[in-house]
A and B are shown apart, each in its own frame.
Chain A
Amino acid sequence: AQRVTQPEKLLSVFKGAPVELKCNYSYSGSPELFWYVQYSRQRLQLLLRHISRESIKGFTADLNKGETSFHLKKPFAQEEDSAMYYCALSPDNYGQNFVFGPGTRLSVLP
């Protein structure tokens, strides 16, 4: 069965420092990968998805099929980036069987 792991429960960085939130997945096929974010007192929302090849709020994520990873990166963290980040996987072409990772809480310190 497909699985998503995020090894860090909490990641603290200083403002202006680079940040990388790790995500690894297990799935034998070619899944679609996503990052969802939940800011304090807000709803869970899509940050970015691999298929769109986009950069949102300065964040990018590269799919590495060899390492089965989809790490989220930002060169200069801002305090407003503090939130809960979830990596997620859709294993097929129909958007079914969606799987979320356990999440990483990012804290950007002033």
Chain B
Amino acid sequence: EAGVAQSPRYKIIEKRQSVAFWCNPISGHATLYWYQQILGQGPKLLIQFQNNGVVDDSQLPKDRFSAERLKGVDSTLKIQPAKLEDSAVYLCASSFPLAGPFSEQFFGPGTRLTVL
């Protein structure tokens, strides 16, 4: 089966600019996650969707980050305006929750964001 798709793969912007990332999960996967991975650290969960509803966004910096998952399929993560500390790899993952609450997460290749 096709894996999780993300675009773009790389993005370089200047601080205070806006940027958006796109994720297409594996077909049929109702749960979608966005992670931020800063160099040298493990992935940090930003937001988790179940279909098109948010189930956890406790670590999302809501003053500048926003995410949506219209129609419960694709998702977009936006940063507006970007700061230097937002430089990171943004990972999208999806899982099939009917496999159980601890079902495997399948990860995309990530988007590497550099903020200058």
A residues adjacent to B (C-beta < 8 A): 4, 32, 34, 43-46, 49, 51, 86, 88, 90, 92-103
Contacts and interface: CB of A to CB of B under 8 A. Distances in A.
B105 A103 contact: no
Contacts, number: 58
A86 B35 CA distance: 14
Contact of A46 (B97, B101, B104, B109): B104
B42 A43 contact: no
Contacts of A49: 102, 104
Contacts of B33: 98
Contacts of B48: 96, 98
A102 B103 contact: no
B3 A90 contact: no
A97 B44 CA distance: 10
14 contacts: A4-B42, A43-B4, A43-B110, A44-B93, A49-B102, A49-B104, A92-B101, A95-B97, A97-B45, A98-B33, A98-B105, A100-B35, A100-B43, A102-B40
Interface string B89-116: 0010101010011111111111000000
B58 to A, nearest CB: 7
Interface in B48-72: 48, 55-56, 58
A50 to B, nearest CB: 9
Nearest to A100: B42
